[in-house]
Structure 1
């Protein structure tokens, strides 16, 4: 301890940034007066991530820790997802609102499916002078509010430079109805909304200092008269594009200083020479061009000969020498005449489906092919036969895997290691004796697996094989093919609770027959902190909620997610 205290304050401040708030204060509070001063006076960069916090620790943070550090929190993450249901309402119960985090630089709002709540939070953000980053993800709303009010709030934030919006409204977003101009926004990503060229033009007028943009464009009609105002500061553009070539040309014409373009499309089919002409004419300063294109082959006969001719246009000096832009072209076995053309390294962040190729070629040199799929983190594996066009060991960094069982014998050749896997979703369309053996092997070969999404009856079969895994903390037991036995009975749930998986489980989603099973699960599963229940004797009224409130301790928070599961946040 004496040697540790010789370190300068700056070293401790850097060290503190690697701890979450609970760990940091638990570890260093009250060791001596110097550490208390470092924690509660000097350190100004607390990162408060409440997305996976237990209710006990949440209460501890709100009552004992936040009063002393609330003006030192630089990042705040809030979520109403399964691990922390109704979190924001509980924050309000402690008289804590977002505007009290006066030093806040970044705010993440995840799975908050109430436009009322988001409108309230973004209104509080008006009083946060240092807020530069706002991220709203996976939020779905009914018709509580028109999205215009929420967008106006966001565009009203005076210091906001970086904004991500991933939210779905019952009413469509309409940027053309906004009038607030952001003088600070430089980085903007908008998902779950498809822009027309007219709306894009209006977006450019609302964000004149925009440098990086990621959006969806879709325009079925070729609106030749529609002019898109220039965005001269835009240097990076990520497009999910479903429009015409004329619309794409207008977009490129409006971004003369574009240097980095990423494109995913199913509507544009240009060969290498045509792409060269388009880029050279409209975005001559381009440095990187990444794309994933799924299109219909133009010729109905002799598809492979046509693809050979098409592929040769990407083997010119422009592609290989001037820019070192390498492409791969695949004709999947079951796709008919749909072919897939993409740059390497593979650039898409969407779920990657492993498929069998009937024809495939790449311009990438052999020596550079080992890491061309390193960025793929989300994979859906169905079935695949080995051939020369599908390299082995090409998915080294998978974090999320969706797998159909029983899998074919080539799975471990194509995906030989799963060291980075944290989430596994298993689909078994009909019961097969091979499935549980393959699943047991797969689970045993993962080291960091945290979440298992699986048919409930298949999971029970896995338990009977004495399978275990030390790191799994979240179980989502769903009735994928169990039509007759949709709900688990008391005996099955007791078997689950007594297993090693049940004893270490912290978050559980399950379908059960009777409400009394809920009490048994909470009593037996000692580490359980969040429970999501679909109950057969629940009739979607307040009866079950009231029964649970009367049956469980007051420290448990109980709510219904609209017409969905009962959510219980356990003390």
Structure 2
């Protein structure tokens, strides 16, 4: 029978350590006794380092006591301020010595630092997850996207930055493709910008992005990953006609569609949705939909609105267990809105 904390096995301690920042583990456990000292310092325990909200002194201390002696054990690095990022990459280069680094999070980075850092990331043999948030618009967007696409084992990529350029023209060879499977873009891009990036991601399974059709000049969409089955879209200035035009290029393999739209009341045309799904989305299993429209008598005819949303109660929607409701609310600028959205079906519990 286990009678005290120290009687726990090493394996249980390793599982507990997963819930702590590696620096906290060092501070708490490394000087307790020889056993914990060995567990922390003289082992292959993976290290996750979070350089967030630190003074320059604390940052240097963490680098000297944990990072420098254990570069080969680090699997995750997270930064949350451009000054800390500057300090780190002035002292270190993320080269092949970081042989286990899998996850890199760069929050609030300055645009000037992005290309030098991305250039070194290609040397990391196990980097599969990259998150970038920039505090400035990106000027050299072509170079940035090319460097991301060339990361050899990247699977997960989350990007939150605006672009100066309206058009992306990537200088890549025909045989250069990204290994990205899960892509999140938290900034509004037009169709041209998005399309010129997606043609280099043939392994993409899941895409989450905000699309604008303003300033989009491309007549046809390029072939997007045949593996794309989960799509999360936010549309603010796009009509149903425009949405229907580009969604058919990759809708046939979709299994999940999560869609947020605004303004155009045609998005509430249930008959049109039914035709689109039956003709182009036969594999669709989950449909999460949210549409909001300004609550103004000059914009919306309430009788027509209710006639439209009532059609989402037909057998087509019920058979698929896709249910919807609506309510009214006011935004922070006191604009009144009506929101129509998906709800999860109520599931009865069988009691035998």
TM-score bin, normalised by smaller chain: 0.7 to 0.9
The answer (yes or no) to whether the contact 2:101–2:126 under 8 Å persists in 1 is yes
Where do residues 412-491 of structure 1 align in structure 2 (5 Å cutoff)?
A: none
CA apart distance, 1:8: 2.6
Q: Which residue, 251, 255, 260 being the options, matches 1:264?
A: 260
Alpha-carbon distance between aligned partners in 1 of 2:304 and 2:347, rounded to the nearest angstrom: 24
Q: Which residue, 172, 186, 206 being the options, matches 2:181?
A: 186
Alpha-carbon distance between aligned partners in 2 of 1:273 and 1:206, rounded to the nearest angstrom: 35
Find out whether 1:44 has 2:45 as its counterpart. yes
CA apart distance, 1:282: 0.9
Aligned to 1:252: 247
CA spacing shift, 1:227–1:168, aligned 2, 3 Å? closer
Alpha-carbon distance between aligned partners in 1 of 2:225 and 2:263, rounded to the nearest angstrom: 24
CA spacing shift, 1:217–1:330, aligned 2, 3 Å? same
Where do residues 239-318 of structure 1 align in structure 2 (5 Å cutoff)?
A: 239-241=233-235, 242-255=237-250, 256-266=252-262, 268=264, 269-270=266-267, 271-295=269-293, 303-318=301-316
CA apart distance, 1:300: 5.6
Aligned to 1:326: 323
Where do residues 115-514 of structure 1 align in structure 2 (5 Å cutoff)?
A: 115-141=111-137, 145-169=139-163, 171-172=164-165, 174-179=167-172, 181-196=176-191, 198-220=192-214, 225-241=219-235, 242-255=237-250, 256-266=252-262, 268=264, 269-270=266-267, 271-295=269-293, 303-320=301-318, 322-332=319-329, 339-344=338-343
Alpha-carbon distance between aligned partners in 2 of 1:222 and 1:135, rounded to the nearest angstrom: 26
The answer (yes or no) to whether the contact 1:231–1:254 under 8 Å persists in 2 is no
TM-score normalised per structure 2: 0.84
CA spacing shift, 1:67–1:173, aligned 2, 3 Å? farther
Aligned to 1:15: 16
CA apart distance, 1:313: 0.5
Alpha-carbon distance between aligned partners in 2 of 1:47 and 1:280, rounded to the nearest angstrom: 47
The answer (yes or no) to whether the contact 1:228–1:250 under 8 Å persists in 2 is no
Aligned residues, how many? 338
Instruction: Using CA pairs under 8 Å that are at least 6 residues apart, name the structure with larger relative contact order, 1 or 2.
Output: 2
Question: Is the partner of 1:62 in helix, strand or coil?
Answer: helix
Question: What are the Cα deviations for residues 104-151 of structure 1, in whole angstroms up to 9, with x where unaligned?
Answer: 1000001112x2312121112111111000000243146xx5221122
Question: Is the partner of 1:66 in helix, strand or coil?
Answer: helix
The answer (yes or no) to whether the contact 1:173–1:193 under 8 Å persists in 2 is no
CA spacing shift, 1:178–1:217, aligned 2, 3 Å? farther
CA spacing shift, 1:202–1:150, aligned 2, 3 Å? closer
Displacement over 4 Å in runs of 4+: 220-225, 296-302, 331-336, 364-367
Aligned to 2:78: 77
TM-score normalised per structure 1: 0.54
CA spacing shift, 1:5–1:43, aligned 2, 3 Å? farther
Question: What are the Cα deviations for residues 226-251 of structure 1, in whole angstroms up to 9, with x where unaligned?
Answer: 24424311011111223343432243
Question: What are the Cα deviations for residues 39-81 of structure 1, in whole angstroms up to 9, with x where unaligned?
Answer: 2343432111111234343222112222222221111011226
Alpha-carbon distance between aligned partners in 2 of 1:125 and 1:72, rounded to the nearest angstrom: 17
The answer (yes or no) to whether the contact 1:297–1:303 under 8 Å persists in 2 is no
Structure with the greater alpha carbon radius of gyration: 1
The answer (yes or no) to whether the contact 1:139–1:166 under 8 Å persists in 2 is no
Deviates more, 1:19-28 or 1:128-137: 19-28
CA spacing shift, 1:245–1:26, aligned 2, 3 Å? same
Aligned to 1:511: none
CA apart distance, 1:153: 1.3
CA apart distance, 1:22: 2.3
Where do residues 509-548 of structure 1 align in structure 2 (5 Å cutoff)?
A: none
Alpha-carbon distance between aligned partners in 1 of 2:215 and 2:311, rounded to the nearest angstrom: 29
Question: Is the partner of 1:59 in helix, strand or coil?
Answer: helix
Question: Is the partner of 1:313 in helix, strand or coil?
Answer: helix
CA apart distance, 1:33: 3.5
Unpaired segments of 5 or more residues in structure 2? none
